[in-house]
Amino acid sequence: MGSLVKKEETSSSLMTEFLEKCGGYAVVDGGFATELERHGADINDPLWSAKCLITSPHLVTKVHLDYLESGANIIITASYQATIQGFVAKGLSVGEAENLLRRSIEITCEAREIFYNRCTKGSWDFAYAGTASRRPVLVAASVGSYGAYLADGSEYSGIYGDSVSKETLKDFHRRRVQILAKSGADLIAFETIPNKLEAEAYADLLEEEGIEIPAWFSFTSKDGVTVPRGDSVVECAKVADSCKKVVAIGINCTAPRYIHDLIISLRQVTRKPIVVYPNSGEVYDGLNKKWIKSGEESEEDFVSYVSKWRDEGASLFGGCCRTTPNTIRAIAKVLSSESPAASKLKLKQ
């Protein structure tokens, strides 16, 4: 019992200590698939960005490095849509599929080492990062929803059908979570959660499987009040808050204009750090698999919200779909100029 309590305390303290080292606020990376495509990858595939783990891992490394260069403190693996079931459907063996999951973390950790080495050698100049020795970087293993595996748009509706129960979801995610938790990542990022049922399945898995690294739960919303399935964001957040393995709760892949109110909603039910990494404001058409410009928000608007989100209680900030290293660089600049450490420096001057 004592060792269990100690592990839970270690999990909760990891994020607290990490944020302290970052100066109170941390920067998460940005859109991954967008950047892979910009570098020439063809990800029009049910595996989406995870396809590059097979075809072009060097591009995965390149995107990680782009975000590290832009000031990210947390880089997320290319495993969002990487599932054993999905890889097997493409003709790979179970063993090969499991190795690709491990490889997604290895690539990310390798990118972090390349970054640190280049910083040490003075190859790059970081205006917002400080020296490599003082800039912490965590690797987060991405876990996408069951709907992401289906690749039929249901990750944006959260509607999986009556035949999909909590046990179905636990069985689907179990082996992937086990592998990702033991492959060298610092935490697991359960992302774009579209319904309460899947959050409950994740929470059960973390407890039942004795997962030793911490996690964050990040939900998605189309209206600033509910997740796509219609469950209240507040009720979903309660599930995350009650799980001792969860060290941060947040929102991703959501229009920036909804984030302010969602942070307020999350703060009603949790004192855990809040992570927000919205998309660009464009709307995804899941049936036709394309992004539609909303015409309501720009990258400049996105970045201008960061101070407001921080004031409402968020601690970790990044971007999701269609955001770029430029977005992350701008967020890092805002946070570095407004961090407690920066404020102390200004007072001394």
Q: Which residues are annotated as a binding site?
A: 253, 320-321
Asked if 77 and 106 count as a contact pair (C-beta separation under 8 A), the reply is no
- Cα–Cα distance for residue pair 115/266, rounded to 1 Å: 34
Asked if 196 and 239 count as a contact pair (C-beta separation under 8 A), the reply is yes
Sequence-ordered list of residues with C-beta below 8 angstroms from that of 75, at least 6 positions apart, any chain: 29, 64, 67, 68, 108, 111, 112, 137, 138, 139, 140
**Segments in the chain forming alpha helices (H):** 2-21, 33-38, 52-55, 57-69, 84-89, 94-120, 146-150, 166-181, 196-208, 233-242, 259-267, 299-304, 306-312, 325-338, 340-348
Sequence-ordered list of residues with C-beta below 8 angstroms from that of 349, at least 6 positions apart, any chain: none
Strands in 74-76's sheet, in edge-to-edge order, are 26-27, 314-317, 274-277, 246-252, 215-219, 187-193, 138-143, 74-76
Binding site listing for Zn(2+): 253, 320-321
Asked if 273 and 266 count as a contact pair (C-beta separation under 8 A), the reply is no
Q: Among candidates 277, 206, 192, which has minimal Cα distance to 242?
A: 206
Sequence-ordered list of residues with C-beta below 8 angstroms from that of 111, at least 6 positions apart, any chain: 61, 64, 65, 68, 75
Asked if 71 and 132 count as a contact pair (C-beta separation under 8 A), the reply is no
Triad 41, 215, 332: Cα angle to 5°: 60
Query: Residue 52: left (phi > 0), alpha (psi -120 to 50), or beta?
Result: alpha
- Cα–Cα distance for residue pair 111/24, rounded to 1 Å: 24
- Cα–Cα distance for residue pair 316/318, rounded to 1 Å: 7
For residue 38, give both structure tokens.
């910009």
